[in-house]
Amino acid sequence: MEIKSIGIVGAGQMGNGIAHVCALAGYDVLMTDITQEALDSALALIRSNLERQASRGKIEEDEVSAALDRIRCTLKLSDLGQTDLVIEAATERETVKQAIFEDLLPHLKPETILTSNTSSISITRLASRTDRPEKFMGFHFMNPVPVMQLVELIRGIATDEATFKACLQVVERLNKSAATAEDFPAFIVNRILMPMINEAIYTLYEGVGNVKSIDTSMKLGANHPMGPLELADFIGLDTCLAIMNVLHDGLADTKYRPCPLLTKYVEAGWLGRKTRRGFYDYRGEGDPVPTR
């Protein structure tokens, strides 16, 4: 089937980025969240990001208003039932995602494709709780969505070829590149990236180096654009911990054991940039200050 309209569940960091790129590519977008404040904030951020792209010559001025005109918002999850493709981009908790799909199912068109932007949770397990496992996929965008070129497409055990091809066409229309991943814990990117970040936290925990020396070493010694602790703050330490727990539980290997220091930061509510404290303190006016 041809995808013309896309429903997005969640207007947060990932959801508003997905809405941005889909609208810019010409799709009609319907975005939902649980509060009007969240939707208003998302629209303001999308406008700001589109205008920044226009000011840098990445897109034309008239594309800004055209993209914004394609985005509608609703507080009713059921309204998304008439879209051709639903992309769930809610918080990285399986119970939350399952509840969303359960509430959405009675309102869906028979042909609607369901997808999740999950970064680590089993697609097969999520799909099995719906009435259309053959029309269910993982559709994992990277953050920030308007900038990052990769989308992981993850097939569940029941995903059919027509669903995969329809999702692949969407990725191509977004001018992004698709990597096909099998449905194993954390897929490709986070299967490799998160253990590296976790090891950097262990390096800090064991006193091998401080925050600044670890990040500087990886930026200058391995040519990484961001140090692993800086990147962890950008992703969100709660998200990092959730993915490490999925790896540890799903693969039953001690090499995926989350570092106790990561757990401690999450328990403290120091989740990184979004709470203004993580491995760096972002509350000052100057450069972020390492917290260890």
**Smallest Cα–Cα separation from 108: which of 1, 4, 7, 2?**
7
**pLDDT interval class at 92 (50, 70, 90):** confident
**pLDDT interval class at 79 (50, 70, 90):** very high
Tens-place pLDDT, residues 254-277: 999 999 999 999 999 999 999 999
Please report the sign of the dihedral spanned by the C-alpha atoms of residue 95, residue 167, residue 235, residue 260. positive
Tens-place pLDDT, residues 167-226: 999 999 999 999 999 999 999 999 999 999 999 999 999 999 999 999 999 999 999 999
Q: Give the pTM.
A: 0.91
Q: Supply the pLDDT for residue 258.
A: 98
Phi then psi for residue 154, to 5 deg, are: -115, 120
Cis-peptide, bond into residue 195, ω within 30° of zero: no
Q: Annotated active-site positions, please? A: 119, 140, 152, 190
CATH class label, 189-290 = mainly alpha
Give residue 210's identity as a one-letter amino acid code.
Answer: N
Tens-place pLDDT, residues 115-129: 999 999 999 999 999
Share of the chain above pLDDT 90, in %: 97
Q: Supply the pLDDT for residue 182.
A: 95
The domain ranges of the chain are: 5-182, 189-290
Q: Supply the pLDDT for residue 116.
A: 98
Tens-place pLDDT, residues 8-62: 999 999 999 999 999 999 999 999 999 999 999 999 999 999 999 999 999 999 9
User: Which helix (DSSP H) or strand (DSSP E) does residue 73 occupy?
Assistant: strand 71-74
Q: Supply the pLDDT for residue 222.
A: 97
Q: Supply the pLDDT for residue 263.
A: 98
User: Which helix (DSSP H) or strand (DSSP E) does residue 289 occupy?
Assistant: strand 289-290
Tens-place pLDDT, residues 221-246: 999 999 999 999 999 999 999 999 99
Select from 3.40.50.300, 3.40.1360.10, 3.40.50.10490, 3.40.50.720 the CATH code of 5-182.
3.40.50.720
- 71-74 and 280-281 strand pairing: unpaired
**pLDDT interval class at 1 (50, 70, 90):** confident
Q: Supply the pLDDT for residue 136.
A: 98
User: Under DSSP, is residue 247 helix (H, G, I), strand (E, B) or coil?
Assistant: helix
Mean pLDDT of 118-141: 97
